[in-house]
Every structure is written in structure tokens, then in C-alpha cells.
A and B are shown apart, each in its own frame.
Chain A
């Protein structure tokens, strides 16, 4: 039976392990794990049939010691306060590990957007924005897209916030369309970041990317872009899985055809020149690189010992449970933890915010070059730290991140 996973429990467990290693004092420990602000809002929406529905919305700011809070907004029927708290905490560590001057936040609305019309989603977004407008802003908390939210959603948030302020505030959200202050390179940024850290890991482990076999779980923005960019580096993707099923081709799947197929049919199953395989066995396929880029809690103690990849690059947030993490470590699998592997998105979000504040925009090449430098520097710091501390990459990444936040907190002191 599949293990039940509470993301906040995972998050606290991970933090405590690192806090022990860093010998953090109890006071600082409590200060660092508790979210700074948790806002729960009721979001009333008039549906297309004239009825009213009230949705639960959340915005959690975990920590702002290093800068304004930053984190996505997700629309999903399983969104809970615990999930949002965990995701906000992971954002704090993620921003710290790549050293962008942000704290962590996350938001969400418990809803099923697949059962709502575009107009209903727009009204939901605008009302939610109005409700959380008291705590967001370019210098306070900058939302971004996450599950089931996109550039259009960000445009509505930016517009609503700007209407409330009386002037245009492009820096209030990132992941916007280019027309209203978005950044070039933002769309593919998370997948590109995943590719950069895989490239570095392969270099350190002596794995050739040419013809390396890749398995990608989740074929949304992160999974598809990582697969496209890894293909450019010579890798061949042999397995792809989405929410509807999984496909396999030992000779390699043409990623551009797969992207077109998913765009036209909405799912990967049925892709020509592939065979369908059992999704429950998907993660345990023989391969060099596994990219879990779907939801959290996918690699558990039930399947971890059957994973055969040499590198696991966590494109999703929290795809590996702590128990599974230990199993992977003991098996000698090189895990690039989520807070490092998928930090490309927040890094280019940071670039977008900087460009909005400057009102001066960079070319895509400039954005990609800056992203490459930040991701590769962060990988090196974490790898060197893991080697020196004799720890896993995850522990090293967390130690570096928590140490940075702890130090910022200590230096700032506590008011009054």
C-alpha cells in the first residue's frame, strides 16, 4: 500500500536533521521552522450559473530574513495549509541554497480548476489577490505560477494588485507574459536549471551525457523542458510518464514529437513509436538519470530500493520521502535535491523581478548565462560541502541553506 505522506512532516523532519548537525540553539531552531505569517482567506466566487461558491485560500510567508518572500500559487483540490506551509519552508531553503536574496512563501486555493471555466478562474484569482493584497507586494512577497496557474493567472494578479494600488506594479508577481514585464527564458528556466545540475553531476561522477538514458516522470513545464534540453546534450529519454499513464522506448523518444503529441491530445499515452508501460513500475526503469518532475511523495520506502538510476534529479518539490532518501543514499544513488535541482525557476523569477524594478530587460542569452552561473556555482558549493561534510547532497544543500538563513537571522537580531 502506498505510504501516506504529510509534506509538512517531511519538511520538519528534514529541518530537524540539519538543525542537529548545525547544533542550532533551540530558540533559533523554533524561529527558523515556524512560518512568519499564515493567512487563510475565504474566496467567494460567482459561478457562471449564477450560484456562489466559497473557496479556501492560503498564503504562507515562512521566512523573510534574507529578503522579500517568494513562492508560487497553486490551484488544486488537495491544497491544504500543511502543504502550503511545507512548500513555503522549502522556498526559503531553495532561495538560500542558490543565494538569491529572498525568503520563502507559498500560496494556494483548494479548488479543481479543471471543472471551472476560464471566467470563473479569473474571478477566483482576482478575489484571492484582493484578499491577500494586504501581505503581497514587490518589496514584501512576490507570487509566481505553480500547479494549475500560469502566465495568464499572473497577469490577473498583477492587474488586480495594480488596480488596488492605482498604478502598474509589474514587480508584484513573476512568471508574467513578456508584454507586461515578464522575462525571456522564464518558461524553460526550471527545466534548464535541472539540465545544468545534471550536467554538473554527470561531470563529477564521470557519466557521459551522450546517449545517457533518461526517464522523466511528469511531462509538464519542468519535465518537458528538462527532456528537450537534455536531448540537446545528447541524452536519450527512454520513458515519459504523466498523470494518465506511461510510455517507453528503449531506443529513445523524440521529445519534440512527444511535446507536440501532448499539446494536441493532452496526454502522453498513445505516442507513436512507444509502448505503454505500467506507471507503478515506471520509476524503477533501468536508466542513468531519473527526473521526478511531478507531484511530491513519489519515491517512497515502497519503491526506493527498486530504483536503478545513477542520478535522481528532483524536478518536483519533495518527490522523495525521508525514508526513501536514506534507501537511495545507501544504494549509492546520487540524488540532486529539489531545493537545488529545481531552483532554476525561482532564479529566473528573481531575474524577472530585478528587470521589473530596473525597467530594463535582458536578452534570453543574458538570462540563460546568468542562470547557468548561479546553478553551477550552487551545485559546486553543495557538492564541495557534501564531500567535506561526508554527507548526502540533500543534507549538504539543507545545511548550507539553513546556515545562511540562521546567520541572517542572528545578525539581524530579534526585535525588540
Chain B
């Protein structure tokens, strides 16, 4: 994942925080990239819908396990 403002590649730690913190600022240029993330997630969700068959096949062990638990 890259910062949309400064283009710097975020480390795995930064990318994780950028994905799940309520608000996240790029640690290199200090721009608020929260809205950008929301847009990314929306476009990701749309692409998942269009490739539903493929994503089902790749369904994670954890999701299967969560379902098994019910």
C-alpha cells in the first residue's frame, strides 16, 4: 500500500494501521489518509462482488472456522 499523497510505500505495520485505525495519518507526510482508505475499501468490495466465485474459493480457513463454530 502506498500513501496517495507522498507515494511512499507503507510498511506492513503502517498498512495494517492504515486499514484498521479509525483515523490514520501517513507517518511520512502526515496527510490524513482515512478517507482514501474508505474509498479503497469500497472499490475493493465492488471488485469482490464482481469476482464472487473466485473469492468464495479463496475463502479463508478462519472464515470457514467461524462458520463451523455456529
Chain A residues close to B by CB (< 8 Å)? 21-24, 204-207, 310-311, 329-334, 377, 381, 384-388, 390-392, 399-400, 403-404, 406-407, 410-411
Contacts and interface: CB of A to CB of B under 8 A. Distances in A.
A399 B68 CA distance: 24
A205 B66 contact: yes
Given A387-B62, A387-B63, A332 B20 contact: no
13 contacts: A23-B11, A23-B12, A205-B69, A329-B65, A330-B65, A332-B66, A334-B65, A334-B69, A377-B22, A385-B16, A400-B17, A400-B20, A407-B14
A386 B11 contact: no
Contact of A400 (B14, B16, B70): B16
Given A385-B20, A404-B17, A311 B65 contact: no
Given A310-B69, A388-B19, A400-B20, 16 more contacts: A22-B12, A24-B13, A204-B66, A206-B70, A331-B65, A332-B64, A333-B65, A334-B66, A381-B21, A385-B19, A386-B62, A387-B62, A390-B60, A390-B61, A403-B17, A410-B13
B17 A205 contact: no
A21 B11 CA distance: 12
Nearest to B65: A332
Nearest to B61: A390
Interface string B1-32: 00000000001111011011110000100000
Contact of A332 (B11, B14, B60, B68): B68
Interface of B: 11-14, 16-17, 19-22, 27, 60-70
Nearest to A24: B13
Contacts, number: 68
Contacts of B70: 205-207, 310
Contacts of B27: 407, 410-411
Contacts of B69: 205, 310-311, 332-334
A66 to B, nearest CB: 13
Which of A207, A330, A392, A407 has the most chain B CB atoms closer than 10 A to its own CB?
Answer: A407
B26 to A, nearest CB: 12
A23 B9 CA distance: 14
A377 B23 CA distance: 13
B57 to A, nearest CB: 13
A329 B69 CA distance: 10
A189 to B, nearest CB: 23
A377 B22 CA distance: 10
B68 to A, nearest CB: 3
A407 B26 CA distance: 11
A284 to B, nearest CB: 16
B64 A381 contact: no
B13 A390 contact: no
Contacts of B20: 381, 384-385, 388, 400
Which of B12, B14, B16, B19 has the most chain A CB atoms closer than 10 A to its own CB?
Answer: B16
Contacts of A334: 65-66, 69
Contacts of A390: 60-63
Given A205-B70, A207-B70, A407 B13 contact: yes
B62 A391 contact: yes
Which of B14, B67, B70 has the most chain A CB atoms closer than 10 A to its own CB?
Answer: B70
Nearest to B24: A407
A397 B45 CA distance: 23
A403 B68 CA distance: 29
Contact of B16 (A207, A329, A330, A403): A403
Nearest to B44: A388
Nearest to B14: A407
A223 B40 CA distance: 42
* 4 A-B pairs with the lowest CB-CB distances in the bound complex, closest first: A332-B68, A390-B60, A332-B65, A334-B69
Contacts of B68: 331-332
A233 B21 CA distance: 30
B38 to A, nearest CB: 13
A332 B63 CA distance: 9
B45 to A, nearest CB: 12
